[in-house]
Structure 1
Amino acid sequence: MSIDMSQFHATFFEEGHEHLDEMERVLMAIDLSAPQAEDLDTIFRAAHSIKGGSGIFGFDALTTVTHVMENILEQVRSGSMSLTQPLVDCLLGTSDHLRAILESYRNQSEINWTEIGDITHSLEVWLTAEGPAPQVEQGYGFFEPLQQPGRDDSYGFFDQDESEQAGSDDGFGFFEPLPATAELPEVPVAGAAPTDVAATSSPAQPSNTTETAPAKPVVRPDSSQPAQRSEREASSIRVDIVKVDQLVNMVGELVITQSMLNLIGSEVQGPETERLHAALVELERNTRELQESIMSIRMLPISFVFNRFPRVVRDLSSKLHKRVELVVEGGQTEIDKGLIERLADPLTHLVRNSLDHGIEQPEERLRKGKPECGRLTLRAEQKGGNILISVIDDGAGLNRERILQKAAEKSIELPEHPTDSQVWQLIMAPGFSTAAEVTDVSGRGVGMDVVKRNIEHMGGRIEIESRTGEGAKFQIRLPLTLAILDGMSVAVGEQHFIIPLVNIIESVQPSPEQIKQIKKQEMLELRDAYWPIVPLYQVMQVEGARTAISEAILVLIETSKTRFALMVDDLIGQQQVVIKSLEQHYRRVPGIAGATIMGDGSVALILDAESLAQRVDESLMMKETV
């Protein structure tokens, strides 16, 4: 019976990227002066597993490159070759090529075998006394279609004897152990003892590897890293994300159905009312537990994104001739997988900008009395129902005057006395750049507007803080999840709105004596504190609402920046709501995070407390300048 091997391809591609991630992580952190045997074994196993899996599936380009890579690593493990910085650079560059080749096979695109030959040659040089491997331009999978040659005609790596010796001790993660059979002589047998796969070429290392290597940037990883893959795989399974999304959608519909039943139950009268209400309470509890369990499946540590930046910082700081220490904090903070996948590009752009424009050259930092080595911090933390992701540098900071000058040149309108926050937001205008020169890293005035738009599409926002000479902080604020939240339903006129529960402190019905007017702004005086009053009917332009503050209800709202009192007509009650995106079906509305379907089938808008808080700050600023 023949087996369709293509059914295992998706697993191989996922595990291949995991092996490369692990290889890169260890190479970045390894101590070159005294490399640990365990680290060397980890790197070797990653290359060996990719080679074995690619051999099973006939992905010859991967097998070709990893075969030579494996020979080098075997010599490093045996002590016949030293692990130097140039060799680490070569191995990291090869891992980039392997990622591109993986994607080519995943996308079923043509393989550039000429480039594969260049890559393997750059590795083979390390097995001779000819010197360090030359740099090879990275293709990243964008290959010109070329005729694929035979498997071993060009490179001569796959004699019959070597092929039979390439057994794996792991089974490459794809198959249960199988007994060795005569019918399958070329397929590595899971569970077989590891064998020596080193090439017969000279073990002498390149002659000039003792040259001074470029300064290696300091990387301080998060102290709480996720468990190693080998420790997790025994207690985990791979599930297609589409299936998880289906579960999330189904539990969302269940929440709506439960709201409908609660509404019907409140109208039922009779002897069975108490039993019905008890059953509805039990249903609500079970629904909540089910929702929390399913949502936890979609939650992943943000380290899945952060782990790529040690390499980014290493490469860019070397290119820019800067010394940079990368500090990662809160890598175990969990966030919705759908957000993780969309965070990589915005964070990469922010990191590149901080390295290029923020952190100064070492000599300039010394003149300013700063440490020669700059610091770049990636931080993640959960606050209420939000995830805060910060990119912080201790560089030169944003130049207010230069930004205002560029704004004037582009005829961008600003208030007469703009706040720092308003000025900083200008750098995210399309085509806006204050860079003195354009580099291949940044400075073309494209990117920050895309960053802002992408973050807003995720239901978040980006906030900027900066002090001249002290650095800048870019903070991304995102919802914890994109699916379900706890909220308070309120009425304004004939319309219903949902306020996220994490932003609510309390609600009060004020007396006339508590209403004060300060600088033309109506304020609530409560327990020796003053709260700006925001009439929701004005913000959302609702007709038929209560206009007298003393007759309305004030919901006290707290955000990351300020506190204010939101004026509504009535409180309806607390409930779970399923978030539906307005942008997909209508357009983005200021002050609105999304919409939900209520138990009676009506639609209620979910308020964005952070956006409303920003309007409060701008309103107060305008009234102070009048």
Structure 2
Amino acid sequence: MTIDMSQFFQVFFDEAEELLAEKEKLLLGVDISSPDPEDLNAIFRAAHSIKGGASTFGLTDMTEVTHILESLLDKIRKGEMHLTAEHVDAFLAAKDILKMQLDGHRLGAVVDLDAVGDVRMLLQSFVQDEIAPKAAPAISLAPIGNASESNEKYQYCFRVSFKDVRPSDLGVLNSELGLLGKAHSEKSPQGQDSIVLQTNGSEDDIFAVCSFIVDADKMEIAREEVPADSGSQKSLSEDELGYGFFEPIESMFPPLEGKDVSATTKPEVEDLGAPDLSGKNGKSAPKKEVEKHAGNQESTTIRVGIEKVDQIINLIGELVITQAMLTQRTQDLDPVSNERLLSSVAHLTRNTRDLQEAVMSIRMMPMDYVFSRFPRMVRDLANKLGKKVEFVTYGASTELDKGLIERIVDPLTHLVRNSIDHGIEMPSTRLESGKSEAGKLSLSAVHQGGNIVIEVSDDGGGLNRERILSKAKQNGLTVSDSMSDSDVWQLIFAPGFSTAEVVTDVSGRGVGMDVVKRNITQMGGVVDIRSAKGFGTTITISLPLTLAILDGMSIKVGEEIYILPLGFVVESLQPEREDIKEIKGKGRVIKIRQEYLPLIPLFETFNILPKHTDPSDGITVIVEVDGKKAALFVDDLVGQQQVVVKNIESNYRKIPGISGATILGDGGVSFILDVAALLRSVK
């Protein structure tokens, strides 16, 4: 039988990427002066897991980097070497190299071999003490780790015997168990392949390591006397054990019963103290109990392709449309004679809404997926600019649709870079103004109704009103000194606008902020700026939680029904005739509470024969986008409903003023209005 290995490679790629992200997060948060032993162990485990997976699949380039990285991390976590800022920089550089190599194997991306060689040499120089950190006092860690270079005394000695194990697997088992103490392989008195392990760990630790390579019923653990020379016996090296050279099918993928194959490659090994060795003849705990324990572990996640999720969402959308059709068809039925039918339809409506919400939640991802990308970028950029920045996040668990999450990364990247470059001052400048040396940059996300509000905030110098107005005049923009601050701040979103005096590779080329606003508007969102000179700037982005289904107001113009996204609606009213004013050659405006708003007759926009031509006979809907308001003149309001968004461009072409379409309960097609485009059309 031919086994499709591509699926297993994909699992490794996904898990390796998760481990690299976790490793970077730990490195950025580590306290260099007093590192947490658990953090050091976690970083080591991430490197070791990547090394094991890369060896399994024969990815020797990644194995070579992680082997050196693992050796260096092992010295640091044992207290044989001080952790320094240079170490952290080197580890982060190694993470970048491993990510590049991973993309090379997964996507065929180009790998810079010179950069790989430089990082390997840098790591090797640390290992060989060419850059000589002074020896530190030993840090008390859990008994995980290869102690072949240590003179530590061990309390326990176990013989782990195996049935029908391959020589290559035995070598890997020896290497893995060596992380718990000192291990060497030999034949048991019964002639079985076995490994003798001296350790301070427990029997459960041994089982946790071995169960990833052999089945529980093919191994036995027995206690032996601790040798007198414990602590001085030399363990075999990984080269002598042939580490990494083993067959890639059965040994790579042990039986999956009771294992979570969607998370990390290995669980954290917990120090459970001294083992209970009351079994007869020193044998290990009964295998049935061990197998039962393993079998009771349930998988909590499953990997599913996004295309399958999208397919389910599309089907749910069709179900929502069908349910709306049934509801509309039954509206005219006699409620007495058709009570059971109407009750069933109402029940279907409730279940359809619950099912829709449950399925939509599958596409929702935490904002941490986005936020986790920035600590490294902030650190590197601040160092490059000679600034000190404290980066904090709030609401990382707040969820947003996957499609929107992927599209919000670039706009947020622009905003974060600009906050560091333009917003936060140099340390000396901050001290002169009575601030702390380190500027504060925060990212936050919170749900508000059907939207998510994301804020990028800094405590820097704030926007310079005079400089912005001066630059706007140079660019030929229509401005005045009497403009409100909020209108002045919006000028920075104009194409090609930049107040930077020096063009650098960080910012100052006049691109970015206009792209930010355009991308956010295309996602149905709005962006706003608040700033105070000397106190900082906050940029707020408001986005719908999902693009697949939206709450809309049905409006009627002539015989046509349009969907107006509810998020843009402020209010609706029937205006008085005296509130409508004509501006010669410019169109009409409507007076709403001492404010004049442009009036947009939709029948003129879409060339439709209307029911009413006088706004005082129809309905006016006030909408707002980016702080700008306008009044849409329509014939009637039909109602409010959730609609399934269908793409127009992929099936027809771009229509001005239209962002999409939906299918109504009667089977007819209704266009969804592009409110931002309608307001831009107002001169």
TM norm structure 1: 0.76
The 8 Å contact of residues 75 and 81 in structure 2, kept in 1 or not, is answered as yes
Could you tell me how far apart the structure 2 residues matched to 1:308 and 1:120 are? 24
Q: Report the 3-state secondary structure (helix = DSSP H, G, I; strand = E; otherwise coil) of the residue aligned with 1:360.
A: coil
- CA positional deviation for 1:372: 2.2
1:89 aligns with 2:89: yes
Q: 1:492 maps to which residue?
A: 557
Does residue 1:598 correspond to 2:664, yes or no?
yes
Aligned position for 1:34: 34
Counterpart of 1:17 in 2: which secondary structure?
A: helix
Instruction: Give the equivalent residue in structure 2 for 1:128.
Output: 128
Match of 1:387 among 452, 460, 472: 452
Which stretch has the larger CA shift, 347-356 or 530-539?
Answer: 530-539
Matched AA of 1:167 = E
Inter-partner Cα distance in structure 2 for 1:344 and 1:260:
38
Task: Check conservation: 2:568, 2:623, Cα contact below 8 A.
Answer: yes
Q: Which residue of 1 aligns with 2:351?
A: 286
Q: Distance in 2 between matches of 1:595 and 1:547?
A: 26
Distance in 1 between residues matched to 2:392 and 2:36, nearest whole Å: 23
Find the counterpart in structure 1 of residue 646 from structure 2: 580
SS in 2 for 1:167: helix
Q: From the superposition, tell whether residues 185 and 604 of structure 1 become closer, same or farther in structure 2 (CA, over 3 Å).
A: closer
Q: Which has the higher contact order (CA 8 A, sep 6+)?
A: 1
Match of 2:510 among 435, 441, 445: 445
Amino acid at match of 2:79: G
1:291 CA drift (Å): 0.7
How much does 1:445 deviate?
A: 1.8
Task: Flag the 1:188–1:433 CA change in 2: closer, same or farther, 3 A.
Answer: same
Shift in alpha-carbon separation, 1:517–1:601, aligned structure 2, 3 A: same
CA contact (8 A) 1:52 1:188 kept: no
SS across alignment from 2:176? coil
Contact 1:531 1:565 (8 Å CA) reproduced? no
What is the CA distance between 1:476 and its match in structure 2? 2.1
Aligned counterparts of 2:403 and 2:544: Cα–Cα separation in 1: 11
Extract unaligned runs of 5+ from structure 1.
Answer: 134-158, 196-231
Kindly name which structure, 1 or 2, has the bigger radius of gyration based on alpha carbons: 2
Is it true that 1:244 corresponds to 2:253 in the alignment? no
Q: How many residues align?
A: 551
SS in 2 for 1:266: coil
Do 1:50 and 1:172's aligned partners in 2 also have CA atoms closer than 8 Å? no
Q: How far apart in 2 are the matches of 1:457 and 1:233?
A: 42
- Cα gap change, 1:553/1:64 in structure 2, threshold over 3 Å: closer, same or farther? same
Q: After superposition, where does 1:42-441 map in structure 2 within 5 Å?
A: 42-109=42-109, 113=113, 115-131=115-131, 165-167=174-176, 234-266=299-331, 273-413=338-478, 418-441=483-506
Q: Give CA deviations for 1:500-521 in whole Å, capped at 9, x if unaligned.
A: 44566776667889x6989996
Q: State the Cα deviation string for residues 560-602 of structure 1 (Å, max 9, x = none).
A: 8588876542232332201134555533745x55332223343
Q: Aligned equivalents of 2:655 and 2:442: distance in 1?
A: 32
* Structure 1 residue 127, shift from structure 2 partner: 1.2
Counterparts of 2:209 and 2:662 in 1: how far apart (Å)? 48
The 1:78/1:495 distance shift into structure 2, 3 A limit, reads: same
2:604, 2:531 → 1: CA distance? 30
User: Which shifted more, 543-552 or 466-475?
Assistant: 543-552
Identity among equivalent positions (%) equals 47
| Contact in 2 for aligned 1:380/1:388 (Cα 8 Å) | yes
359-368 vs 427-436, which moves further: 427-436
Letter in 1 for 2:508: G
| Structure 2 Cα separation of the partners of residues 173 and 311 of structure 1 | 36
Contact persistence 1:533–1:567 (CA under 8 A): no
Q: Using a 3 Å threshold, how does the CA distance of structure 1 residues 593 and 425 change in structure 2: closer, same or farther?
A: farther
* TM-fit CA distance, 1:20: 0.9
Listed as ranges, the gaps of 5+ residues in structure 2 are 134-167, 178-204, 220-241, 260-265, 270-296
Q: Give the match for residue 187 of structure 2.
A: none
8 Å Cα contact 1:516/1:524 also seen in 2: no
Shift of 1:251: 0.9
The alignment's C-alpha RMSD in Å is: 4.0
What is the rounded CA distance, in whole Å, between the counterparts of 1:500 and 1:524 in structure 2? 21
**Contact 2:528–2:626, Cα closer than 8 Å, also in 1:** no
- Using the TM superposition, give the Cα deviation of residue 37 of structure 1 relative to its aligned residue in structure 2, in angstroms: 2.1
SS in 1 for 2:397: coil
Partner of 1:200: none
CA contact (8 A) 1:171 1:177 kept: no
Please show how residues 442-481 of structure 1 align to structure 2 within 5 Å. Answer: 442-481=507-546
Task: Note if contact 1:53-1:172 (Cα within 8 Å) is conserved in structure 2.
Answer: no
Which moves more between the two structures, 179-188 or 14-23? 179-188
CA distance change for structure 1 residues 429 and 500 in 2, over 3 Å: closer, same or farther? closer
Q: Matches of 1:100 and 1:6 in 2, distance apart? A: 20
- 8 A contact 1:164–1:185 mirrored in 2: no
Structure 2 contact 13–102 (Cα < 8 Å) conserved: yes
SS of 1:390's equivalent? strand
Deviations 1:212-233 (A, max 9, x none): xxxxxxxxxxxxxxxxxxxx99
